[in-house]
Amino acid sequence: MDVFVADYAGFCSGVARAVKKAETAPKPVASLGPLIHNPQVVEDLAAKGVRPVASLDEVQEGRVLVRSHGVSPRVLEEARARGLEVIDATCPFVRRSQELARELASQEIEIIIVGDPEHAEVRGLVEWAQGKARVVSSAAEAEALPRGLRRAVIVQTTQPQELLQAVVAALLPKTGELRVYNTICEATRRRQESAVRLAREVDAMVVVGGRNSANTRHLAELCRSTGTPTYHVEKAGELRPEWFKGVKKVGVTGGASTPAWIIEEVVQMLQNLPEAAEELKTPEVGEENEALYSKPNGETGESIPESQAVAGQVSRLRRGSVISGTVVQVGDNEVLVDVGGKSEGVIPLNELSYRSFNHPSEVVSVGEEIKVMVLRPENEDGHPLLSKKRADRRIAWDRLEAAFSSGEELRGEVVGVVKGGLLVDVGVRGFVPASLIERGYVEDLNSYVGKTLRLKVIEIDRAKNKLVLSQRAILEEEFEKQRQATWDSLEPGQVRKGIVRRLTNFGAFVDLGGVDGLLHVSEISWGRVEHPQDVLQEGQEIEVKVLGVDREAGRVSLGRKQLLPNPWDTAAERYPVGSVVQGKVLRIAPFGAFVEVEPGIEGLVHISQLADHRVEKPEEVVSVGQVIPVKVLKVDQEAQRMSLSLRQALRDQTKNYSASSTREPSEEGSGVKLGELFGDLFGTTKPQE
């Protein structure tokens, strides 16, 4: 049998908000009426210190919690007058209706409230309307009203859209001016539409929620109206196997007050049919609930013997409850647990763990205290039938929902790779999309199998077993904190370590800790650098000096050569005036050539110092990249300038050669010619006149 869950099922935002306020409120706290229409949630909250009260007379001091249905303004004023702290969990949609009722009451207009006159929300709205409102629960009641000049319609937030339309249609012919305010909660409409849509596609429908919940009853009525057999239950233990004989597809939805874990248990129980047929034969319901299982044609199921209904509630071993127990025996086929009953509880191997194992001793050990879920108070041998697997699953979902609300970080082991991401174990199986694993692109997903990830819950739907997690969210948060800390501490003049992240033609981008700074190519070295890749590599750690910080523009300029010895500091000593050195022509200008005598030190050979003859263009004598002798004419260390001469260097070399020669070299003689010695420098230019 296939089980399908409606797209919108379970807690609405207003109820979830109220439950969260109750759980986080300082304890003890008194709730004005049951917080929501779900006995299991109310019972759980009561155990945590949220005590339901019928009126303020039961609260002497402390704090009171206003439930999502809201209360009248009189109650709020009285609570504050008594000095009580008011924690208002009124649903925002209900609050809007209350404000609308108060505003309309100040006008000469009759207010019509569409809804259940006994519902807490409607009773509160009547008081917000200052007694100037009538309540109608059907189109027939609207038709029975006398004619009116001016009317305004407000509707209970959980009523179906069809009821509002029917009431408006009945009022229009007998009202001069009719204003209609559709205050139905959008989540209610979506829930009802998705439930009806699903009911039309399945063979049977299960509606989960409190029997005193108006919106859950409406859901069941709407599903029955499709002709599909529909059953309204509060919890999984009320399911009856005979309902699903011959059923291939069953749909599940839940009212706005139904927590996801109850829907999940119903789904699990349905998925285990017919395996669970035995344990479903004696549900914990009495004959008085028989009408709740009526089918569209009015038929009812068989009555349940009262003795069976009572027996299941005699002890704390109630079906579906999670309790503590101590392992007393670990066998090959089962585990025995002391849960305080007349006999030990039994955990079958298939209910021990959702993970594979070779022997139960790999999962539990004698003397260990564990949590178990009661599947049946007694099996055929009189032992409680228990499940550790299901208890772990519920506890895990509770923890995950809490982590989703608080933003708590989780850790989970990667157990598999699927299309588009990773499967992780966080007590239940979760999915991490590939785009949410790291801050950057992940190429090999298989490399993560077996690793533990730091995770944050970003999407959770307990009823549908949907859990999406992200490691990237945590990394992004940490990166942003680091980035902000770096920005706050950056100041010009600092020396910092950084990682070269990217190389470009004009420089290198260096990561200083969440903030990238630009190391311009001119600031890399004292010498000339053609391209940063000639000196640096991506991923390399280097020290840099902060030259400038522009927080508004988000720019940081860096220097590296400032941390290296400046060759100009000793240039005068190493290149005294009159010395001749070899240099490389770096660039040519109209007025001369710039020659590098060592990395970081270059000087100018003025056009007049290139040759003894007149030079029109420096290119006539030298070319970029050529190595030539130059004579040092002047060194200015402070200005970092040097004047050089090619002409004088050649003269000196010629003199030195002549002095060392045994005879005067001549163009006509038999010795070495000057053109052979310095042919590249003289070229074919004619002598200067």
| Nearest by Cα to 285 from 276, 293, 275 | 293
| Nearest by Cα to 226 from 193, 257, 184, 256 | 193
Asked if residue 334 lies in contact with residue 347, where contact means CB atoms within 8 angstroms, the answer is yes
Within 10 angstroms of residue 248's Cβ, the number of other Cβ atoms is: 10
| Nearest by Cα to 494 from 521, 513, 522 | 513
DSSP E strand boundaries for 573-650 = 580-589, 592-598, 601-606, 627-636, 641-645
Q: What DSSP character marks residue 382?
A: S
Residues forming a β-bridge with 370: 325
| Residues 11, 255: Cα–Cα separation, whole Å | 7
Q: Which residues contact 494 (CB under 8 A, 6 or more apart)?
A: 545, 546
User: How would you classify the pairing of strands 429-433 and 421-425?
Assistant: antiparallel
Instruction: Specify the pTM.
Output: 0.44
Quick one: pLDDT at residue 350?
Answer: 86
| Nearest by Cα to 514 from 554, 479, 540 | 479
Full DSSP string of 322-351: EEEEEEEEE-SSEEEEE-SSSS-EEEEGGG
Asked if residue 195 lies in contact with residue 253, where contact means CB atoms within 8 angstroms, the answer is yes
Quick one: pLDDT at residue 114?
Answer: 95
Return the active site residues.
121
Quick one: pLDDT at residue 583?
Answer: 93
| Residues 321, 236: Cα–Cα separation, whole Å | 11
Decide: helix, strand or coil at residue 123: helix
Q: Where in the chain is the domain with CATH 3.40.1010.20?
A: 94-184
Quick one: pLDDT at residue 658?
Answer: 64
94-184 folds as Cobalt-precorrin-4 Transmethylase; domain 1 (3.40.1010)
* Three-class DSSP labels, 233-269: ECCHHHCCHHHHCCCCEEEEEECCCCCHHHHHHHHHH
Give first-to-last CA distance, the chain, whole Å.
Answer: 111
| Residues 115, 490: Cα–Cα separation, whole Å | 63
| Nearest by Cα to 418 from 465, 456, 468, 375 | 468
Quick one: pLDDT at residue 659?
Answer: 63
Specify the CATH number of the domain 322-391. Answer: 2.40.50.140
Q: What are the average pLDDT values for consecutive 10-residue runs of the chain, which has 689 residues?
A: 83 81 87 82 84 86 87 88 88 89 89 92 91 91 91 90 90 91 84 91 93 86 93 90 90 88 85 53 35 34 36 53 90 90 85 87 92 83 87 89 90 92 92 92 91 94 86 90 86 91 92 90 84 90 92 88 85 90 92 90 92 90 92 89 92 73 48 47 43
How far, CA to CA in Å, does 465 sit from each of 259, 263, 462?
A: 13, 10, 5
Query: Which of 2.40.420.20, 2.60.40.3500, 2.60.40.10, 2.40.50.140 would CATH assign to domain 572-682?
Result: 2.40.50.140
* Largest interatomic CA distance in the chain: 140
Q: Which residues contact 513 (CB under 8 A, 6 or more apart)?
A: 482, 483, 485, 486, 498
Specify the CATH number of the domain 492-563. Answer: 2.40.50.140
Q: Where in the chain is the domain with CATH 2.40.50.140?
A: 322-391, 413-489, 492-563, 572-682
Q: What is the CA radius of gyration of the chain?
A: 43
Quick one: pLDDT at residue 484?
Answer: 86
Residues forming a β-bridge with 466: 461
DSSP E strand boundaries for 395-540 = 410-418, 421-425, 429-433, 452-461, 466-470, 495-504, 507-511, 516-520
- The architecture of the domain spanning 413-489 is Beta Barrel (2.40)
